[in-house]
Amino acid sequence: MTTTDVSTLAATLRAVLGDHQVISDRQELRTYECDGLAQYRVVPALVALPRTAAECAATVRACVDAGVPFVARGSGTGLSGGALPHADGVLIVTSQMRAIREIAPADERAVVEPGVINLHVSRAAAPYGYHYAPDPSSQQVCSIGGNVAENSGGAHCLKYGFTTNHVTGLEVVTPDGDLVRLGGRAPDAPGYDLLGAFVGSEGTLGITTEVTVRLTRSPESVRTLLAGFTGTDQAGAATSAIIAAGVVPAAIEMMDALAIEAAEAAVRCGYPAGAGAVLIVELDGPAAEVDAQFADVERLCRDNGATEIRVAADDAERALIWKGRKSAFAAVGRISPDYIVQDGVIPRTALPEVLRRIAEISARHGVRVANVFHAGDGNLHPLVLFDDAVPGQAERAEEVSAAILDICVAQGGSITGEHGVGMDKVSFMPRMYTDDDLDTMQLLRCAFDPRGLANPGKVFPTPRLCGEVPGRRRGVHPVQEAGLAEVF
Amino acid sequence: MAGDVLAALRAAAGEATGPADDGARPAGPDGPDAAVVRPAGDEDVVAGVRPRYVAAPGSTAEAAALVRVAAARGLAVVVRGAGTRQDWANPPRRLDLLLDTRRLAGVVEHAAGDLIVVVRAGTPVAELQAALATAGQHLALDTPLPPGAASTVGGVVATNTSGPRRMRYGTVRDLLIGITVVRPDGVVARAGGKVVKNVAGYDLGKLFTGAYGTLGLVAECAFRLHPLPAARAFLTRRAGDAAEAGRLAAAVLAAQVVPSALEVDAAPDGRTEVAVLLEGTPRGVKERAAATRALLGGATVADEPPPWWSSYPWRPGDVGLTLTAALSGVPRLLAAAAEARRRYGVALAVRGSAGAGVLHAGLPSATPPDVVARTVAELRVVAGSAGGHAVVLTAPPQVRERVDLWGPVDGLHLMRRVKAQFDPDARFAPGRFVGGI
Amino acid sequence: MSGIPDQRGRPVPRDVLGPVAPAPGEPAFDDDHPPRRELVDDCVHCGFCLPTCPTYVLWGEEMDSPRGRIHLMEQGLDGEPLSPSMVAHVDRCLGCMACVTACPSGVRYDRLIEDTRQQVERRHRRPRRERALRAAVFALFPYPRRLRLLRGPLLAYQATGLRALVRRTGLLPRLAPTLAALDALAPPIGRAARVPRRVPARGTRRARVGMLTGCVQHAFFPQVNAATARVLAAEGCEVLILPERQGCCGALSVHNGRRAEARRFARALLDVFDSAGIDFFVVNAAGCGSALKEYGELLADDPAYADRAAAFAASVRDLSELLVELGPVAPRHPLPVTVAYHDACHLAHAQGVRAQPRELLAAVPGLAVREIADPEICCGSAGVWNVLNPEPAGQLGERKAAHVLATGADLLVTANPGCLLQIASAARRLGRRLPVAHTVEVLDASIHGRGVDELLR
Q: So what's the pLDDT on residue B2?
A: 66
Q: Which of C1, C83, C106 faces A266 most closely, judged by CB atoms?
A: C106
Cα C298-C302-C307 angle, rounded to 5 deg: 80
Interface test with A, best of B197, B262, B276 (most A CBs within 10 A): B197
Q: So what's the pLDDT on residue A187?
A: 95
Domains of chain C with bracketed CATH: 1-125 (1.10.1060), 128-189 (no CATH), 198-324 (3.40.50), 332-447 (3.40.50.11810)
Residue C174 to residues C137, C395, C399, C410: CA-CA distances in angstroms? 10, 15, 19, 29
Q: Name the β-bridge partners of A374.
A: A253, A379
Contact of chains C and B by CB distance (3 or more pairs under 8 angstroms): no
Quickly count: other Cβ atoms within 10 Å of residue B147's Cβ: 6
Contacts of C47 in chain A (CB under 8 A): 36, 75-77, 138, 141-142
Reduced 3-state DSSP string for chain A: CCHHHHHHHHHHHHHHHCHHHEECCHHHHHCCCCCCCCCEECCCCEEECCCCHHHHHHHHHHHHHHCCCEEEECCCCCCCCCCCCCCCCEEEECCCCCCEEEEECCCCEEEECCCCEHHHHHHHHHHHCEECCCCCCCCCCCEHHHHHHHCCCCCCHHHHCCHHHCEEEEEEECCCCCEEEEECCCCCCCCCCHHHHHCCCCCCCCEEEEEEEECEECCCEEEEEEEEECCHHHHHHHHHHHHHCCCCCCEEEEEEHHHHHHHHHHHCCCCCCCCCEEEEEEEEECHHHHHHHHHHHHHHHHHCCCCEEEECCCHHHHHHHHHHHHCHHHHHHHCCCEEEECCEECCHHHHHHHHHHHHHHHHHHCCCEEEEEECCCCEEEEEEEECCCCCCHHHHHHHHHHHHHHHHHHCCCECCCCCCCCCCCHHHHHHHCCHHHHHHHHHHHHHHCCCCCECCCCCCCCCCCCCCCCCCCCCCCHHHHCCCCCCC
Q: So what's the pLDDT on residue C161?
A: 63
Quickly count: other Cβ atoms within 10 Å of residue C309's Cβ: 25
Q: So what's the pLDDT on residue C9?
A: 33
Quickly count: other Cβ atoms within 10 Å of residue C304's Cβ: 9
pLDDT of A336 > 90? The answer is: no
Contacts of A87 in chain C (CB under 8 A): 17
Give me the total of CB pairs closer than 8 Å, taking one residue from chain A and one from chain C.
119
Contacts of C85 in chain A (CB under 8 A): 25, 27-28
Nearest CA in chain B to A427: B200
Residue A55 C-alpha, separation from nearest chain C C-alpha, in angstroms:
16
Residue range C20-31: mean pLDDT, rounded: 81
Q: Taking the CA atoms of B88, B90, B95 and B97 in sequence, report the sign of the dihedral they define.
A: negative
**Residue C341 burial by CB count (10 A; 0-12/13-18/19+): exposed, middle or buried?**
buried
Across all residues in chain A, what is the average pLDDT? Answer: 92
Q: So what's the pLDDT on residue B149?
A: 77
Identify residue B245 by its one-letter amino acid code: A
Residue range C128-138: mean pLDDT, rounded: 89
pLDDT digits over C315-352, tens only? 999 999 999 999 999 999 999 999 999 999 999 999 99
Partner A contacted by C100 (CB < 8 A): no
pLDDT band at C189 (very low <50, low <70, confident <90, very high): low
pLDDT digits over C37-89, tens only? 999 999 989 999 999 999 999 999 999 999 999 999 999 999 999 999 999 99
Partner B contacted by A374 (CB < 8 A): yes
Partner A contacted by C68 (CB < 8 A): yes
Chain-chain contact of A447 with B284 (C-beta, under 8 angstroms): no
Quickly count: other Cβ atoms within 10 Å of residue C13's Cβ: 18
Nearest CA in chain A to B76: A478
Nearest CA in chain A to B109: A412
**Which of B419, B412, B418 lies closest to B434 in space, CA to CA?**
B412
Q: So what's the pLDDT on residue C20?
A: 61
Chain-chain contact of A140 with C48 (C-beta, under 8 angstroms): yes
Contacts of A388 in chain C (CB under 8 A): 1, 10-11
Nearest CA in chain A to B158: A192
**Per-residue tens of pLDDT for chain B, all 437 residues:** 667 999 999 999 887 665 444 445 555 455 556 568 999 999 999 999 999 999 999 999 999 999 999 999 999 999 999 999 999 999 999 999 999 999 999 999 999 989 999 999 999 999 999 999 999 999 999 999 776 678 999 999 999 999 999 999 999 999 999 999 999 999 999 999 999 999 999 999 999 999 999 999 999 999 999 999 999 999 999 999 989 999 999 999 999 999 999 999 999 998 999 999 999 999 999 999 999 999 999 999 999 999 999 999 999 999 999 999 999 999 999 999 999 999 999 999 999 999 999 999 999 999 999 999 999 999 999 999 999 999 999 999 999 999 999 999 999 999 999 999 999 999 999 999 999 99
Q: Which of A23, A117, A395 faces C51 most closely, judged by CB atoms?
A: A117
pLDDT band at C155 (very low <50, low <70, confident <90, very high): low
Residue B278 C-alpha, separation from nearest chain A C-alpha, in angstroms:
11
Chain-chain contact of B326 with A349 (C-beta, under 8 angstroms): no
pLDDT digits over A149-184, tens only? 999 999 898 899 999 999 999 999 999 999 999 999
Chain-chain contact of A330 with C10 (C-beta, under 8 angstroms): no
Give the β-pairing of B53-55 and B97-100: parallel
pLDDT digits over A264-296, tens only? 887 888 888 889 999 999 999 999 899 989 999
pLDDT band at C190 (very low <50, low <70, confident <90, very high): low
Q: So what's the pLDDT on residue C153?
A: 55
Contacts of A345 in chain B (CB under 8 A): 195, 197-198
Residue range A213-233: mean pLDDT, rounded: 95
Q: So what's the pLDDT on residue C10?
A: 36
Chain-chain contact of B201 with A421 (C-beta, under 8 angstroms): yes
Chain-chain contact of A34 with C2 (C-beta, under 8 angstroms): no
* Touching A: C residues 14-43, CB under 8 Å: 14-17, 20, 23, 41-42
Contacts of C13 in chain A (CB under 8 A): 34, 38-41
pLDDT of C417 > 50? The answer is: yes
**CB hemisphere CA count around B72 (13 angstroms):** 12
Residue A248 C-alpha, separation from nearest chain B C-alpha, in angstroms:
8
Phi, psi of A182 (to 5 degrees): -125, 125
Q: Is B97 left (phi over 0), alpha (psi -120 to 50) or beta?
A: beta
Contact between B194 and B109 under an 8 Å Cβ cutoff? The reply is: yes
List of residues 6+ apart from A255 with CB closer than 8 A: A263, A271, A277, A278, A324, A325, A328, A370, A371, A372, A373
Chain-chain contact of B187 with A436 (C-beta, under 8 angstroms): yes
What is the rounded distance in angstroms from the CA atom of residue B225 to the CA atom of residue B111? 10
Residue B75 C-alpha, separation from nearest chain A C-alpha, in angstroms:
12
Chain-chain contact of A28 with C63 (C-beta, under 8 angstroms): yes
Partner B contacted by A20 (CB < 8 A): no
Q: So what's the pLDDT on residue C177?
A: 66
- Widest CA span in chain B: 71
**Domains of chain A: which residue ranges?**
3-93, 100-217, 221-410
Contacts of A150 in chain B (CB under 8 A): 199
**Which of A150, A148, A290, A271 lies closest to A220 in space, CA to CA?**
A290
List of residues 6+ apart from A483 with CB closer than 8 A: none
**Which of C407, C324, C391 lies closest to C362 in space, CA to CA?**
C324
Three-state DSSP class for residue C239: strand
Residue range C433-448: mean pLDDT, rounded: 95
* Touching A: B residues 335-364, CB under 8 Å: 356-358
Interface test with A, best of C62, C65, C73 (most A CBs within 10 A): C62
Quickly count: other Cβ atoms within 10 Å of residue A314's Cβ: 7
Domain A100-217 CATH class label: alpha beta
pLDDT band at A2 (very low <50, low <70, confident <90, very high): confident
Residue range A240-259: mean pLDDT, rounded: 92
Residue range A378-400: mean pLDDT, rounded: 92
Neighbours of chain C (3+ CB pairs under 8 A): A
Residue range B231-400, CATH number: 3.40.462.20
Domain A3-93 CATH class label: alpha beta
Partner C contacted by A266 (CB < 8 A): yes
Contacts of B393 in chain A (CB under 8 A): none
Cα B268–chain centre separation: 25
Three-state DSSP class for residue B17: coil
Contact between B259 and B355 under an 8 Å Cβ cutoff? The reply is: yes
pLDDT band at C140 (very low <50, low <70, confident <90, very high): confident
What is the rounded distance in angstroms from the CA atom of residue C442 to the CA atom of residue C224? 10
Contact between B427 and B184 under an 8 Å Cβ cutoff? The reply is: yes
Contacts of B356 in chain A (CB under 8 A): 187
Residue range B1-228+409-437, CATH number: 3.30.465.10
Q: So what's the pLDDT on residue C291?
A: 97
pLDDT of A479 > 60? The answer is: no
Interface test with C, best of A6, A27, A367, A385 (most C CBs within 10 A): A27
Three-state DSSP class for residue B313: coil
Q: Which CATH architecture best describes the domain A221-410?
A: 3-Layer(aba) Sandwich (3.40)
DSSP structure string for B368-428: -HHHHHHHHHHHHHHHHHTT--EEEEE--HHHHTTS-SS---TTHHHHHHHHHHH-TT--B
Interface test with A, best of C6, C12, C16, C20 (most A CBs within 10 A): C16
Contacts of B116 in chain A (CB under 8 A): 347
* Touching C: A residues 19-38, CB under 8 Å: 23, 25-28, 30-38
Query: Where in chain B is CATH 3.40.462.20?
Result: 231-400
Partner A contacted by B195 (CB < 8 A): yes
pLDDT of C19 > 70? The answer is: no
